[in-house]
Amino acid sequence: MTGGFLTLFEKEVMRFWKVSFQTVAAPVLSALLFLVIFSHALAGRVEAYPGVGYVQFLVPGLAMMSMLQNAFANASSSLIQSKITGNIVFILLAPLTPADLFAAYLAAAMVRAVVVGAGVVLAVAWLVPVPFPNLLWLAAFTVTGAGILGVLGIVAGLWAEKFDQLAAFQNFLILPLTFLAGVFYSVDSLPPFWRAASHLNPFFYAIDGFRYAFFGRADVSPWASLAIASATLCALSWLTLRLLRSGYKLRH
Amino acid sequence: MASPAVEVRDVSKRYGPLRALDGVSLSVEQGEFFALLGPNGAGKTTLISALGGLVRADAGTLRVLGRDVAAEYREARRLLGIVPQEVVFDPFFSVRETLELQSGYFGLRGNGAWIGELLERLSLGAKADANMRSLSGGMKRRVMLAQALVHRPPVIILDEPTAGVDVELRQALWRFMRELNAAGHTIVLTTHYLEEAQHLCGRIAMMKTGRIVALDSTRRLLADFSERVLRVKLESGALPAALAAGATVDAAGWHRIPVESAAQVETALARLREAGAAVAHLEVAEPELEEVFVKIMARQDAPAREDA
């Protein structure tokens, strides 16, 4: 890592912070709307876990979903905007290493995820009593969950050449995987096939483990979730670093 | 011996069937003011991009002050400042932020004094805190120049810096480049304004379809491919035989008589008088790079000239 990493990281944070109304306030509002709608429609539903009401159950899932989506959005939109407007040339002409690029985009994506996640939890805490989380598990799943999506954001930003390609990546891959990761329900309540399918989705483990940090209960052991989420993050990071080293779609 | 500022050896780059660079070799010594000329699509920008690491050469080596742009890319990029041809900017930031960020990418923090000097020198001081979006095209170009100079690179490459730039800014830009050159920076530029290259650059390479087709000092290229001519239009009479031998005449009736010196102009006019010809219009044209360029580009499969 070189000194340039820090500047690129700061630039990426400044970039989303300058438009925080869209990059932070808007996702917090969306999560609140989801909460209001689902809690109103499904308030009568049985408790997800004993002693945990459905609305309470929703909170960590919505917070994590917002974190995942915003980590992805930060890295991918920054990269594609720089590519399309052409100003990525200033980064490419600088003596930054592939690891610098990787770490800077990833770290900034995680910062945005944390800001949005904290915003959702704090905003919701006014409406729903949420237990104080176990901070170690919370940090572990924040890092792995936001990390996975941050890395996927880098991959999508590198791969996409047009905004509609990025939108396709987001709508056909990221959105289904986050919505079907047990944000709105416990996957244990699903029929066996869909339960098994959910267990193939790495996002599920990030959400399930994150929920464990709040309730001390989850569908899967948090250790297993952490192991799977960490392995996914490592594998994707390795692949992405290779893409960056090869100059994939950046250095022709 | 000191490493050349830029050394390109047998560099090739293909895009599918197109040979963007076809075995290009050239070397620019430290302290030179060097022009890279050629029609659109000749490969100038590809060559510059390969030096900056934006494009990866298929074959050959490129070095900046002895540093290989692939194996030692970090050192090479620190030594090189490139001003890209297209005007690009990041709309999220102000002029000063843009320059501070660019410094930071090179690991330079607290570079405010030099940034301030660049802003001053490029008449951007009043706009330092304005968003990049609000700047005129010419100002955005100046910011790009400042971005390329923010790490004080010894080698500066400008890809058509004066395209679409007004006269005043163009002159200011060249003054600044001359000063940088006088201070020891090596300057390489591409331009379609050939009179600029003729007046500024000591040496010139011309490219065509991915190859170097001429490479020599500006003086020698002018001497070899262009000449001083006396152009006359006659009111009456005809060109005497002694002059007609080397002369040509165009459709508008202008006779073009090659002359090597001012003394020969006198001789030619004396002969016209002796022959009883009355001159209606007269002008002396100095050798022009444009003529050299046209002649070289018109040659078929022109071999590259080596430096003497």
Each residue of A83-139: pLDDT tens digit? 999 999 999 999 999 999 999 999 999 999 999 999 999 998 888 888 898 999 999
* Percent of chain A surpassing pLDDT 90: 68
Q: How high is the pLDDT of residue A46?
A: 67
Return mean pLDDT, chain A: 91
CB distance from A195 to chain B under 8 Å? no
The residue-averaged pLDDT of B144-167 equals 90
B307 has pLDDT over 50: no
Q: How high is the pLDDT of residue B301?
A: 57
Q: How high is the pLDDT of residue B109?
A: 86
Q: How high is the pLDDT of residue B300?
A: 66
Chain A: give the shortest CA distance to residue B65, in Å. Answer: 15
Which chain B positions have a beta carbon within 8 Å of A108's beta carbon?
A: none
Q: Measured on CA atoms in the order A157, A159, A162, A166, is the torsion positive or negative?
A: negative
Give CA–CA dist A25/B215, Å, rounded. 60
Residue of A43 and B105 predicted with greater confidence? B105
Which chain B positions have a beta carbon within 8 Å of A7's beta carbon?
A: 101, 103-105, 109
Which chain A positions have a beta carbon within 8 Å of B62's beta carbon?
A: none
Give CA–CA dist B39/B190, Å, rounded. 10
The residue-averaged pLDDT of B56-73 equals 94
Q: Do B53 and A3 touch (CB under 8 A)?
A: no
* B267 three-class SS: helix
Q: How confident is the model at residue B305 (pLDDT cuts 50, 70, 90)?
A: very low
Give CA–CA dist A228/A206, Å, rounded. 9
Q: How high is the pLDDT of residue A57?
A: 86
* Percent of chain B surpassing pLDDT 90: 50
* Cβ pair B106, B173 in contact under 8 A: no
Which CATH number is associated with domain B6-223?
3.40.50.300
Q: Do A95 and B104 touch (CB under 8 A)?
A: no
Q: How high is the pLDDT of residue B41?
A: 87
> DSSP per residue over A99-135, as a string?
HHHHHHHHHHHHHHHHHHHHHHHHHHHTTS--PPP-H
CB pairs under 8 A between A and B: 80
* Cβ pair B305, B214 in contact under 8 A: yes
Q: Evaluate if pTM is beyond 0.80.
A: yes
Interface test with B, best of A7, A19, A88 (most B CBs within 10 A): A7
The residue-averaged pLDDT of B201-220 equals 90
B97 has pLDDT over 70: yes
Give CA–CA dist B222/A31, Å, rounded. 72
Q: How confident is the model at residue B303 (pLDDT cuts 50, 70, 90)?
A: low
Interface test with A, best of B93, B94, B105, B141 (most A CBs within 10 A): B105
Domain residue spans in chain B?
6-223, 227-286
- Output the six-digit token pair for B302: 């022109």
Which chain B positions have a beta carbon within 8 Å of A94's beta carbon?
A: 77, 102, 105-106
Give CA–CA dist A190/A194, Å, rounded. 6
Each residue of A207-244: pLDDT tens digit? 999 999 999 988 889 999 999 999 999 999 999 999 99
Interface test with B, best of A93, A248, A250 (most B CBs within 10 A): A93
ipTM value of the model? 0.87
* Cβ pair A158, A69 in contact under 8 A: no
Q: Do A4 and B104 touch (CB under 8 A)?
A: yes
Residue of B227 and B173 predicted with greater confidence? B173
Q: How high is the pLDDT of residue A188?
A: 80
Q: How high is the pLDDT of residue B237?
A: 80
Looking from the CA of B12 toward its CB, the CA atoms found within 13 Å total 10
* Cβ pair B204, B249 in contact under 8 A: no
* Percent of chain B surpassing pLDDT 70: 97
Q: How far is CA A136 from the centre of its chain?
A: 18
The residue-averaged pLDDT of A73-84 equals 95
Return mean pLDDT, chain B: 88
What are the start-end ranges of the H helices in B13-53?
A: 44-52
Q: How high is the pLDDT of residue A245?
A: 93
A1 has pLDDT over 70: no
